[in-house]
Structure 1
């Protein structure tokens, strides 16, 4: 099987995580690193043995050698431009979450991605927790109807980010480049899991607040109630102001059973999932120190298989668009102090609303 050349755009923390995952994959090779600061790219290249070529722009990397796949790990507000450039060059695409900060841009890009998929390109959005064995097993149980009709869910992310985190880069905590705070940046994985397990939302009612950080534009606390097309109701809680930081918890309830994911592990499921979840992925088992890289590696496994077989990847651009629209719905509702229709947000009816963080 051929080895695929990968260009990573953005050589910061997330780019380095992708580089480590790619280095572990037998079918992938980090061929190029792109960063607006060449010294940052060169430092990451040195950790990889000095093999990747370093470039200031994606255009340079694409012109210098054949690139099969581009992984975009820039600040969120720069995702779509690089993604469009990738597809024009005929390379496969993996975009870090969220798809972008601007729903209108993401909506337009989704059409570009659909056309690229029709030409045989694979276009994925990072949501590595969909590939956690526990999450995959619960998702399968939902699809098979083993939990009955899903009636409700409670999802909580009580995380902590100190002030130094936001002070570490001037783009952090901004609407333009972060796209939001606890929901858009950290909580996007939970949003995606909710969509995977409960389907399409109908209505969102939310409040946001900035409770314990300074010098940022976005929220560090959000609470929302969401009504889904199925009739299920869910509560979403996301914060970066819960010292010292506790694990994510997702509880899913149906007419024939319930499941609880705690810290990405299976804490409870009735009816039992038997051996669908390995013991090391069940609650209480020690979590591997390299779990963050392992999650991305699982998504790269899925992406390579999609490229080989021509099937869609496990998380497509349209999935990323729905997740971004749900995040936007939270912010629009909080700004307007009333429930909003998810479909109208998705279709652009609220594109002219300038979202704000409520004090």
Structure 2
């Protein structure tokens, strides 16, 4: 007879409910599917259900990703004891209600950025997260670009002192998807659903990246915003209609900003500049970040997302300059889980890293980052920027919170 050793138990299952199935829902679903295939996780995330208002659309999505359950009311999933975690990928006006209910029901929560549409909502979400954490439920906000390997490596260089004292931060996020004045009035252009326009949608990302990479906190800002196109065709209306901005003529008012420009100062004394716009013709998703310090600089451009440019100012002037680092070595953040060096990653990989980190923190009982408190700090910056812009770029001090 031969004796057999019982197989070691596999990782426990983390049953995920995805709320929303549009653009963000799709890339989150892909991430949850991929993460356990490339990362060793002590919990295995499984997409157990998807929720969307259009049942037929949600069912098609479920079929595509192999999800066995479809719901049209998120409350059904939040209240289900078989669901372990909720991933919120819907417009900002729904974030607070869903996240708070899920946390109170003992679910782990991943919520897309920005955390909420208003500062008051974000504060309530943080309180709910604090109470839930005491009972073992963890919450995270989805600033996915943090997990681009080149940006994570830039943070390591700063932490290791390679840049010395940080003096300048400059960041921009440029898109062009609404340059056409006849582009329809989608939800992202309506304040009651989106909260703000370019400021909150893409400006939030570069505000977060600036603080993440440098470790600085922005302590005050001055901002200007602009809405270039005041009215747009209502969805389903004829794009050829020319009107005076009334719904009867097939157009509706744009109630968010199209672009934002911000200057700021960090609590540590660095100066910062930010630009976020959806009107940079020819720029599809151009994210740029440069940090200058007393000993060197780093520069990143998302259009070359596997590269980081680094300047070591301690080298002799005659031979120094920016040099290109291909951030694909196994020693680089996240890169070792993927392909051989030189085989680059893409936009979607940051979401896979986010899913893997979230699952790992749940398994270890550790607070995932960025936390809801981190999301609240960005919400304070967005609120200050809106207040500043409404008051002719008046300087706004920004509290670091409790």
Smaller-chain TM-score bracket: 0.7 to 0.9
Distance 1:249 1:73, change over 3 A: same
Alpha carbons of 1:275 and 1:245: their partners in 2 closer, same or farther (altered >3 Å)? closer
Are positions 1:32 and 2:56 aligned together? Answer: no
Is 2:228 the partner of 1:173? no
Structure 2 CA distance for aligned equivalents of residues 169 and 311 of structure 1 = 41
Give the match for residue 245 of structure 1: 283
Structure 1 stretch displaced more, 318-327 or 211-220: 211-220
1:228-272 CA-to-partner distances (Å, cap 9, x unmatched) read: 111100110111001111521111011111000111443411239
Mean Cα displacement is larger for which, 36-45 or 75-84?
A: 36-45
1:310 to 358, 362, 365: 365
1:126 and 2:142 matched:
yes
Matched, 1:278 2:328: yes
Q: CA deviation at 1:176?
A: 1.7
How far does residue 43 in structure 1 lie from its aligned partner after superposition? 1.4
Which residue matches 2:261? 223
TM-score (structure 2 length as normaliser): 0.79
**Secondary structure at the residue paired with 1:108?**
helix
Q: For residues 306 and 193 of structure 2, what CA distance do their matches in structure 1 show?
A: 31
Tell me which of 103, 126, 130 is aligned to 1:87: 103
**Taking structure 1 as reference, are residues 53 and 168 closer, same or farther at Cα in structure 2, changes over 3 Å only?**
farther
**Structure 2 match to 1:350:** none
CA distance in 1 between partners of 2:184 and 2:27 (Å): 18
Q: Is the CA contact (8 Å cut-off) linking 2:102 and 2:109 kept in structure 1? A: yes
Offset at residue 170 of structure 1 (A): 4.3
Shift of 1:167: 5.2
> Given the superposition, is the C-alpha separation of residues 209 and 274 from structure 1 closer, same or farther in structure 2, using an over 3 Å criterion?
closer
SS of the counterpart of 1:161?
Answer: coil
Change (3 A) 1:163 1:146: closer
Deviations 1:52-92 (A, max 9, x none): 31111122124456111100011011101000111111111
Equivalent position of 2:295 in the other structure: 256
* Matches of 1:86 and 1:164, distance apart in 2: 39
- In 2, distance between residues paired with 1:116 and 1:245? 41
- Contact 2:307/2:324, CA 8 A, preserved across alignment: no
Indicate yes or no: 2:98 matched with 1:43: no
Contact 1:195 1:323 in 2 (8 A): no
Post-superposition CA distance 1:119-142 (Å, at most 9, x none): 222210001111111111111222
Q: What is the SS of the residue equivalent to 1:172?
A: helix
Between the two proteins, the alignment pairs up a number of residues equal to: 341
Q: Are residue 343 (structure 1) and residue 399 (structure 2) matched? A: yes
Larger Rg: 2
- C-alpha contact (below 8 Å) 1:225/1:236 kept by paired residues: yes
Of 278, 299, 324 in structure 1, the residue corresponding to residue 379 of structure 2 is 324
Distance 1:162 1:275, change over 3 A: closer
Contact 1:73 1:96 (8 Å CA) reproduced: yes
For the structure 1 residues 169 and 39, does the alpha-carbon distance in structure 2 shift closer, same or farther, using more than 3 Å as the test?
farther
Partner residue in 1 for 2:154: 138
Q: Would the alpha carbon gap of residues 317 and 69 (structure 1) be closer, same or farther in structure 2, given more than 3 Å must change?
A: same
Gap regions ≥5 residues in structure 1: 348-359
Q: Say if 2:49 and 2:69, in contact at 8 Å, map to a contact too.
A: yes
What is the CA distance between 1:221 and its match in structure 2? 1.4
Which moved further from structure 2: 53-62 or 224-233? Answer: 53-62
Q: Does 1:188 align with 2:238?
A: no
1:351 matched residue in structure 2: none
Equivalent residue, structure 2, for 1:269? 310
In the TM superposition, what is the alpha-carbon distance from 1:164 to its structure 2 partner?
A: 7.3
| Residues 168, 34 of structure 1: alpha-carbon distance in 2 compared, 3 angstrom cutoff | farther
SS in 1 for 2:307: strand
C-alpha change, 1:248 and 1:170, in structure 2 (3 Å) is closer
Which of 193, 202, 205 is 2:219 aligned to? 202
Q: 1: distance between equivalents of 2:343 and 2:255?
A: 37
Distance 1:228 1:213 in 2: 34
CA separation in 2, counterparts of 1:265 and 1:332?
Answer: 37
Task: Say if 1:260 and 1:266, in contact at 8 Å, map to a contact too.
Answer: no
CA distance in 2, matches of 1:168, 1:193: 30
Structure-2 change in CA distance of 1:140 and 1:213 (3 Å): farther
* Shift, 1:48, TM fit: 1.7
Aligned partner of 2:32 among 5, 18, 22:
22
Q: Cα 1:335–1:275, aligned 2, differ >3 Å: closer, same or farther?
A: closer
